Structure 1
Amino acid sequence: MRKVIICTFLTLDGVMQAPGGPDEDTRSGFEHGGWQKPVSDDEVGAAIAGWYEDSDAMLLGRRTYEIFASYWPTADPGNPFTDRMNGMRKYVASRTLTSVDWQNSALLEGDVVDAVRALKASDGGDLNVVGSGDLAQTLMRHDLVDEYRLTVHPVIIGTGKRLFADGAIPTGLEPVSVSTTKGGTVVGVYRPNGKPGYGSY
């Protein structure tokens, strides 16, 4: 059984929107695009590279697919991640796209939940959900997420799209590994382990 792994960069207040650049995603008047670069470091890069060691495909929503497809095919070939991103299989969830041109990309057919269940049951490596907030929330609602790999950076944005938005399903998490980089970013890997517990003091 293949694992579905959500791989996401977050601010300390949980915002995932537009970490990569000012014009990456300006929906709802978002003005903080590119927030990740000033608070990232080499240890974050090494951790992210490790996220892909056992994965051979990505699950992408339409918006993230379009951002990646406009960048990676012509990205610096000297960047060791360029070949990895271009070479991996990409499965794209979209209600509006009729074709995908980035190499090794395919549109998911039919209901996205059924399609991801079928992918999980197929042969192959793990499936990384990168960015793609709406897709990630759909998968969380249908109990299809096996693991979260998150970098939580030392910056507060205050507005923007959050991975765990209002209406997120209450879930307990088992920490697999958690570390802090020299720049203060928390790199955490967590697995869902049922409903959260409750108590009192």
Structure 2
Amino acid sequence: MRKLVLFIAMSLDGYIATKDESLDWLFNSEGEGDNGYLEFYDTVDTVLIGKKTYDWIMKHETGDFPYNNKDCYVFTRSLIEDTEDVSFINEDIVSFTNQLKNQKGKNIWIVGGGELLQSFVEEKLVDEIILTVAPTVIGNGIPLFKEGDYQLDLSLKGTRNFNQFVELHYTVKK
């Protein structure tokens, strides 16, 4: 069975972006190469994105769509026509994700954002979390994990550092 993996960076105080959706803080610290991104990217063939995160990517990315060599699904509450790079999904997250997990292939990456992750966490769909912590405290912003009635028990699989960044790799206890 394929794994559903969260691979994301956050500030030391638990935020994935500022309130105005800026990631500038993330690039103010010295990493090492791509901080393990390409290594991870090769382990997945499918990406799942929430509509707000997709809109942010489309607004801020220049050049080619960043996931054009992967199966890319964007979860939305609206009916939107698919593009060359993306299939828009407005069906039940649990059944759609379980169908993907039961297909042959590489792992599935939860790109973001917080609302989509919250749904996956509450439904106990997340299998692994690879979290890169930036040496920055931003004080407020968009939290990685939203308040809710859930609990994730994790087992540390490993740690690495990329200069000033620390990667924590967890498996989710089921």
TM-score when normalising by structure 2: 0.89
1:34 aligns with 2:34: no
Note if contact 2:132-2:166 (Cα within 8 Å) is conserved in structure 1: yes
The aligned length equals 174
Counterpart residue number, 2:73: 91
Deviation at 1:12, TM superposition (A): 0.1
Counterpart residue number, 2:167: 187
For residue 57 of structure 1, the aligned residue among 21, 46, 63 is 46
Q: Aligned pair in 2 of structure 1 residues 160, 73: CA closer, same or farther (>3 Å)? A: closer
Give 3-state SS (helix, strand or coil) of 1:74's partner.
coil
Superposition pairs of residues 158-169 of structure 1, within 5 angstroms:
158-167=139-148, 169=150
Deviation at 1:104, TM superposition (A): 3.0
Counterpart residue number, 2:7: 7
Q: Distance in 2 between matches of 1:188 and 1:55?
A: 18
1:62-102 CA deviation, whole Å, 9 max, x = no partner? 01112223455625xxxxxx7x622111011000251242x
Give 3-state SS (helix, strand or coil) of 2:36's partner.
helix
TM-score when normalising by structure 1: 0.78
Which amino acid in structure 2 is aligned with residue 55 of structure 1? V
Provide the aligned C-alpha RMSD in A: 2.1
Structure 1 runs not aligned, ≥5 long: 19-24, 76-81, 195-201
Note if contact 1:4-1:145 (Cα within 8 Å) is conserved in structure 2: yes
Larger-Rg structure: 1
Structure 2 runs not aligned, ≥5 long: none
Q: Which has the higher helix share?
A: 1
Among all aligned residue pairs of Structure 1 and Structure 2, give the percentage whose two residues are the same amino acid: 26
Counterpart residue number, 2:55: 66
Q: Which has the higher strand share?
A: 2
Note if contact 1:62-1:97 (Cα within 8 Å) is conserved in structure 2: no
Give 3-state SS (helix, strand or coil) of 1:50's partner.
helix
Using CA pairs below 8 Å that are at least 6 residues apart, which structure has the higher relative contact order?
A: 2
1:129 aligns with 2:110: yes
Q: Distance in 2 between matches of 1:97 and 1:68?
A: 19
Note if contact 1:72-1:86 (Cα within 8 Å) is conserved in structure 2: no
